[in-house]
Structure 1
């Protein structure tokens, strides 16, 4: 597994929204590009890409606002301390 979850997550978001250059701590919801449908796509992407299941208690918007928060989520739910979470 990648040591930095941000890389594949950034690639996924950039493929959907090529017009933005996303910083690690930039709120993707505040940018106005992300809606609830894309939020669910993010959840499914994270689960499939990292082979994890995001528990219901982790399905909070704050866990998906930034690349940093998504990387931290992946590290928590995977139990893999090697994954960079910031």
Structure 2
């Protein structure tokens, strides 16, 4: 998936899958959708910044202000929900 992906065709499952693939590749571990990556020590604060940049560029959204809360990045499911919400808000 790239930033040129048709935004209308991007489902929650497609977002979850892309995020999981990225995390598996970057961490060299299988990441479950509900794994708290910060509590498990899998993600550092530096990697969290890389993750924000990846999400913004891949899904064509901007994450700013209150959306930069750690809770939005703890799990693949939380990140998927964030992407879906921000995409919906940008379509309004």
Question: How would you bin the TM-score normalised by the shorter chain?
Answer: 0.7 to 0.9
Aligned twin of 1:8: 18
Structure 1 unaligned regions, length at least 5? 81-86
TM-score (norm 2): 0.79
More helix by share: 2
Cα displacement string for residues 1-41 of structure 1 (whole angstroms, at most 9, x for unaligned residues): 421211111111111111x2211111011121211110001
TM-score (norm 1): 0.84
Distance in 2, matches of 1:7 and 1:29, equals 20
Cα displacement string for residues 35-77 of structure 1 (whole angstroms, at most 9, x for unaligned residues): 1110001100110000000121100100000010000000111
- Number of residue pairs matched by the alignment: 79
Structure 2 unaligned regions, length at least 5? 1-6
User: Is 1:53 aligned with 2:62?
Assistant: yes
Aligned twin of 1:83: none
Aligned twin of 1:72: 81
Aligned-CA RMSD value = 1.3
Deviating beyond 2 angstroms after TM superposition, the runs of 4 or more aligned structure 1 residues are none
Aligned twin of 1:35: 44
